[in-house]
Amino acid sequence: MHQAVLLTEVMAWLRPRPGGVFVDGTLGGGGHTGAIAEAIAPTGRVMALDQDAGALDRARRNLGERVTRCTLVQGSFARMDELATAHGFTTVDGVLLDIGISSDQLDDSERGFSFMREGPLDMRMDLSRPVTAADLLNTLGEEALAHLFRRYGEEPRARAIAGRVVRQRMAEPFRSTRQLADLVEAVYGGRRGRIHPATLVFQALRIAVNGELEAL
């Protein structure tokens, strides 16, 4: 069963009541949406958005009978006004955003979000988006890559990592999460402590690929 983050605190702030109307801008596994749907029964409504079509399928299963009070829509919360209006949610009692990446996405090696799992360097939350993490690594210039790592990851060795990426891709294009994780680890001279040295670089690429700051 999916466990929503800070569910008690979220519900305390939203204070959903029977008949309420809410928007969950980041459906994920459906934990928050399900709790809201329960609290607003029997006549309330909640619209939940997610860019990831797979998330909608998983949440629909997790929600069970509560899905009858839910309108699940594939789309970014950046389009919330447009999508809410289109689905009849013109006045609402509350809006929730639980931004970031879900554990389901991290656990799916084919999505390429995690340096802990071998997989393609994809990182798209919405698979219809045209640009992957591999595309950025294989096409951006050294300065642009360094800027990306600094801006979205606050990576202290952004320049060194960008330079190594550009040199390495001349011999072999970047395709896998392991390639990138190994490169960053080499720049740092090995792994030290609990936090993997590739953490900030992966974060930066994920944010860039999905336009997360622009969406906010």
Question: Which distant-in-sequence residues (6+ apart) come within 8 Å of 111 by Cβ?
Answer: 105, 119, 122, 123, 124
On whether both 124 and 188 belong to a single domain, the answer is yes
Residue 178 lies in a domain: yes
Q: Does the structure show a pLDDT above 60 at 1?
A: no
For residue 73, is it within any domain? yes
Tell me, what's the pLDDT at 4?
83
Predicted local confidence at residue 183, as pLDDT: 97
Q: What is the DSSP letter of 40?
A: T
Average pLDDT on 203-212 reads 96
Angle of CA points 184, 140, 188, to nearest 5°: 15
Do 108 and 195 fall into the same domain? yes
The pLDDT value given to residue 44? 98
Angle at which helices 142-153 and 199-210 cross, to 10° = 100
Of 40, 72, 99, the last residue of a domain is 99
2 lies in some domain = no
Residue with tokens 């030290």: 192
Residue 179: CATH number of its domain: 1.10.150.170
Q: 48 near 24, Cβ under 8 Å? A: yes
Alpha helices in the chain (DSSP H): 7-14, 31-39, 53-63, 80-86, 103-107, 133-139, 142-153, 158-171, 177-187, 199-210, 212-215
User: How high is the pLDDT of residue 203?
Assistant: 96
**Contact yes or no for 196/106 (Cβ under 8 A):** no
Is the domain of 94 the same as that of 108? Answer: no
Whether residue 111 sits in one domain with residue 200? yes
**Residue 47: strand pairing partners:** 23, 71
Shared domain for 66 and 85, answered yes or no, is yes
Looking at the structure of the chain, the number of domains it has is 2
Please tell me whether residues 14 and 54 are part of one structural domain.
Answer: yes
Instruction: Check whether residue 131 and residue 58 sit in a common domain.
Output: no
In a domain, residue 123? The reply is yes
pLDDT of residue 192: 75
Boundary (domain end) residue, out of 99, 119, 142: 99
Same domain, 93 and 113: no
| Mean pLDDT, residues 129-133 taken together | 96
Whose CA is closest to 188, among 168, 205, 164?
164
Q: Which pLDDT tens digit goes with each residue over 145-200?
A: 999 999 999 999 999 999 999 999 999 999 999 999 999 999 999 877 788 999 99
Helix (H, G, I), strand (E, B) or coil at 175: coil
Q: Which domain holds residue 188?
A: 104-211
The answer on 202 and 112 residing in a single domain is yes
Same domain, 145 and 65: no
Cα distance between residue 137 and residue 145, in whole Å: 7
Considering the domain boundaries, does residue 216 fall inside one? no
In this structure, the answer to whether residues 111 and 12 fall within a common structural domain is no
Q: What is the pLDDT of residues 23-39, one digit of tens each?
A: 999 999 999 999 999 99
> How far is 205 from 158, CA to CA, in rounded Å?
12
Residue 120 lies in a domain: yes
Identify which of 36, 41, 35, 38 has the alpha carbon closest to the alpha carbon of residue 19.
Answer: 41
Q: pTM for the whole thing?
A: 0.86
Mean pLDDT of the chain: 94
Note whether residue 153 is domain-resident. Answer: yes
Query: Could you tell me the CATH number of the domain that includes residue 27?
Result: 3.40.50.150
Q: What is the mean pLDDT of residues 125-153?
A: 97
- Tell me what pLDDT residue 2 has: 57
pLDDT band for position 112 (cuts 50, 70, 90):
confident
Residue 95 lies in a domain: yes
Q: Are both 204 and 110 inside the same structural domain? A: yes
Residue 74 backbone class (left: φ over 0; alpha: ψ -120 to 50; beta: rest): beta
